[in-house]
Structure 1
Amino acid sequence: MHQQQAPSALLREYLNELTLACHQSGADRLPVLDLACGFGRNGLYLVSQDLPVLFADLNTYALAQIEQQAAALNAQGLASYWHQDFELPGSTPLKGKVFSAVLVFRYLHRPLMAAIKQAVKPGGVIIYETFTRAQAEFGRPKNPDFLLEPGELAACFSHWHMRHHFEGIVESNGVKQAIARIVAVKPDE
């Protein structure tokens, strides 16, 4: 079984906003979308906090691991799984879908940005964290297609209610990374 990493500190810090966004959906709570979830460390934390999560990823092995861990948490009713290639040319996988929140960590596919924004319900939350162009100095990824330009993430969500914004260098266990992160609430339309 995959060794699970700790969830992002942003999730603990903004758990109330995520919970509120889920409960505003009424009796049929809209799930949180954990987009390109990998092994689900962030979504599993939310499931453990009684929030519904749709885990979406291309990696079927990772999704199977998440399913096992959700079962161990007795959270099968809160977790659902979506095997999806979000980069398939010509596809629009988020079209018509609505979520109480969307989590995106360490993933960037610019053609998907407008669809991500559309998929968050009014009053819903986006938590997004990924690498900036400066990351190429410290290691992978180095491909500019996967690296944000300075100010790009904040600009993309500039009309939303920004709760948190950071862009810079972080260090963990002696490893430096260049990242941008936001937590924002979609305005009521």
Structure 2
Amino acid sequence: MQPSNLVALHSQTLKAAGEKGAILDLACGNGRNGIYLVQQGQRVVFSDREKNKLDGISRLLDPSELTSYWCVDFEEPRTEPLSLGSFSAIVVFRYLHRPLMQAIKHGVQRGGLIIYETFTIDQTRFGRPGNADFLLQPGELEDVFRGWEILHSFEGVSVSELNGQQQAIAQLVARKPD
């Protein structure tokens, strides 16, 4: 299972951030990015609302102090799951829940990183997802993290590393101000 090219490309920056605390793989799915980070010696908290996905990841990794598993529904109304702690970095892929964006920003430690990649509204030209609630508007991701140090930003059409299909995505790697 290969990590996202974005995570692999920024692994050294993540390693430096990871020296200050755990990295959250938010809505981790099959855990491909977090598994890669654990293999790089990083402490990772895998979070997803589906316990069976977390169980599958835990079977792939040796039990260690480098991993923990957090079964949580980030979309549950009237909860603030990211207020419980802060992370040296948060990685988010293929997931967008706008009411959570401020909590994600709050959940990153000062000087920590966000690595975010998800679909834009132009994805409707290529297939799923097609619901605008789950698709970024032009410039939206950079707007959310305005004031952070932008280390990488991309918005446009690329080829998916997962299935080789065209996709419309936005990517952002940014450092929270000290």
Provide the aligned C-alpha RMSD in A.
1.1
Q: In the alignment, what sits opposite 1:89?
A: 77
1:12 and 2:3 matched: no
Q: In the alignment, what sits opposite 1:125?
A: 113
Code of the residue aligned with 1:96 in structure 2: it is L
CA distance in 1, matches of 2:84, 2:64: 25
**Alignment map for 1:13-162 (pairs within 5 Å):** 13-23=9-19, 25=20, 30-71=21-62, 76-162=64-150
CA distance in 1, matches of 2:135, 2:64: 35
Aligned length: 176
Q: CA deviation at 1:76?
A: 2.2
Q: CA deviation at 1:120?
A: 0.3
CA distance in 1, matches of 2:7, 2:89: 12
1:182 to 160, 172, 175: 172
Identify unmatched segments of 5+ residues in structure 2.
none
Q: CA deviation at 1:19?
A: 1.1
Identity fraction in percent: 52
Q: CA deviation at 1:96?
A: 3.4
Code of the residue aligned with 2:101 in structure 1: it is M
1:51 is paired with a residue whose SS is coil
Q: CA deviation at 1:174?
A: 4.6
- The more displaced of 30-39 and 172-181 is 172-181
- The more displaced of 54-63 and 173-182 is 173-182
Where has structure 1 moved over 3 Å in runs of 4 or more? none
Identify unmatched segments of 5+ residues in structure 1.
none
